[in-house]
Amino acid sequence: MITLITSLFTEGIGYFKRKQEAKNKAQERSEQLELAKVTAQIKRIESGDKSATQLDEISLKNRGWKDEYLLILTTLPLGLSFIPEWAYIVTEGFEALESVPEYYWYALGLIYIDTFGFRRMARMAVECWLQRKFGGTYG
């Protein structure tokens, strides 16, 4: 009888040890998988940042007249708003811009991003927006 009890006790302990080992291995695999995901994400981000940075550098090297044009166009209303005879024109212009369609603003933003070389910054902004909108991690 004692042999039977000892045998059952030994088998019970063995069962719980095997179950605990399986649980530990599953946890270890889960941690390794999570680490692999994070590592892959870091590599994608580094690769994307590197590509965006290289494109920005190329854009900056090939600057032309459009950079100066956009800079003047962007800062002109600021300067004109300090001249009393022209300030009302600036105000009317901004009021007119309120009726511009949304797609136009996106197109204009893309032009500025391309011209001034803000790809990396734009990519980060889109990733943050996606993360806020849909949750999770993107990259």
Structural element, H or E, at residue 7:
helix 2-61
- Residue 83 resides in a domain: no
- Residue 67 resides in a domain: no
The pTM (predicted TM-score) of the whole model is 0.41
Which residue range is the domain that position 52 belongs to?
A: 2-62+100-134
- Residue 71 resides in a domain: no
Q: How confident is the model at residue 127 (pLDDT cuts 50, 70, 90)?
A: confident
Mean pLDDT taken over the chain: 78
Residue 91 is encoded by which pair of tokens? 């105000």
Nearest alpha-carbon partner for 121 in 39, 61, 38, 48: 48
Say whether pLDDT at 20 is over 90.
no
- Number of folded domains in the chain? 1
